[in-house]
Amino acid sequence: MSRPWLGLAVIAILGCVQAGGAQDLYHGGVRRESLERDLRYLASDEFGGRGLGDPELQQALTFVAERFRDLGLEPAYPVKMGAGDPLAGYFQPFHAHGFPPSANVIGVLRGDRSQAPSTVVVGAHVDHLGRDPQLTGDQIYNGADDNASGVAALLEIARILSAERRQSGGSSERTVLFIAFSAEESGLLGSKHYVANPLTPAEDVLAMINLDSVGRLRDDQLIIFGTGTAREFSAILGGLNPSYGFDLAEQKGGVGAADHTSFFVTDIPVLHLFTGPHEDYSKVSDEADKINYAGLATVTEFTAELARYLSYRDRPLTFQPVGEKQLAKMETMRKSGERKVSLGFMPDFSMESGGVKVGPVFPGAAAAEAGIQTGDVIVALGGERLDSLVDYTAALRQHAPGDRITVVLLRDGHEIEREVVVQERR
């Protein structure tokens, strides 16, 4: 079921106030070269992997603040005339216990809507894993996909929406907050700090859109988490998608290992865009040359249109707490300490229930040794049936490196069993 008129209506409305420019804005409005330039810059060795506590992360955050200023976004906080750093108003500093201090960067595109919810949030995290001096050869976690891709998209969306508002002088638009989070890799610290110290209360936020790892589009598959967190999301996405042609994999729950989760727990509808797992995830090989730039441009354009639509939408959204059971389970697991073992593959996040679909399998690792293949669906592990990734994680936690466990797989419609020796998680 799709509703193409929805996207067209938005285009028509903006087309009027944007005489002659509509084509530029809505197809090819994204400047692919500028996306690629920003991504390559942030993912370059100059930024040393943007690790929390490293000066290069601060430089990357400053780069984002400068861009927000140059794009015409207002600083989030007032700065006294002549007081120190002119960029200071864009920073939201925080210091989580046991971690080095850092800051989120927030740029405001001011709207004039008076009644709540009057705000839309678009976010992406800047930090990554820094360097590992233990490694021989390449030691820098460039994080091109994770998450220079999301930050490049965030900057481009800010540029497009800011330019449109300047030209349209339109009314009844919501304020759009662009937030570049820090310390995501250390446990969503930046986004947690933001929601505990927000610019506007949660009731005033229509929705939060998160961009994390959007640079590896393959087979046009775009995974969107949180589509069940507002009753209207599926229809909205279905309305926008026909002009883009994504194979949308909707994940209803609002809980995951990314910054949207922090907003979801305060009852804000969330959407998290993701182009899928790959073998370079959290490795030094997550490099800029492996990015699908045309794909990134399309995802950026789609997200810009989504943010634009939400900023103009007349009616509120209906929050649905989909994923709260998972949240409770994750919280219990967090308290019981780190998971110690792995099977050596990346889950394919496009499957939400009915088992855990196997994504890229790491050569030589436990899963590969046991003959587990990409595309297999794990339905039981160590005698426990699995429905979701959370179940899988919970089941694995009960094992130590070297344990031999039975895995039941669904392959070509048949259940098969494999013995796996679980390995230490690195």
Residues near Zn ion (CB under 5 A) are 146-147, 212
Taking the least distance from each CB to Zn ion, the nearer of 63 and 312 is: 63
Taking the least distance from each CB to Zn ion, the nearer of 165 and 272 is: 272
| Residues 175 and 110: beta-carbon distance below 8 Å | yes
Minimum gap (Å) between residue 82 Cβ and Zn ion: 38
Minimum gap (Å) between residue 87 Cβ and Zn ion: 24
Taking the least distance from each CB to Zn ion, the nearer of 212 and 305 is: 212
| Residues 304 and 156: beta-carbon distance below 8 Å | yes
| Residues 396 and 367: beta-carbon distance below 8 Å | no
Please give the Cα distance from 248 to 237 (Å, whole number): 9
Radius of gyration of the chain (CA): 22
Helix axes 32-42, 55-70, angle to 10 degrees: 160
| Residues 212 and 272: beta-carbon distance below 8 Å | yes
Minimum gap (Å) between residue 150 Cβ and Zn ion: 7
Taking the least distance from each CB to Zn ion, the nearer of 118 and 210 is: 210
> 357 - beta bridge partners?
377
Taking the least distance from each CB to Zn ion, the nearer of 173 and 212 is: 212
Structure-token pair, residue 210: 């998160």
Minimum gap (Å) between residue 42 Cβ and Zn ion: 13
Neighbour count for residue 67 (Cβ, 10 Å): 21
Please give the Cα distance from 245 to 349 (Å, whole number): 20
Taking the least distance from each CB to Zn ion, the nearer of 146 and 348 is: 146
The one-letter amino acid at 137: G
Minimum gap (Å) between residue 125 Cβ and Zn ion: 6
Minimum gap (Å) between residue 131 Cβ and Zn ion: 17
Please give the Cα distance from 123 to 202 (Å, whole number): 15
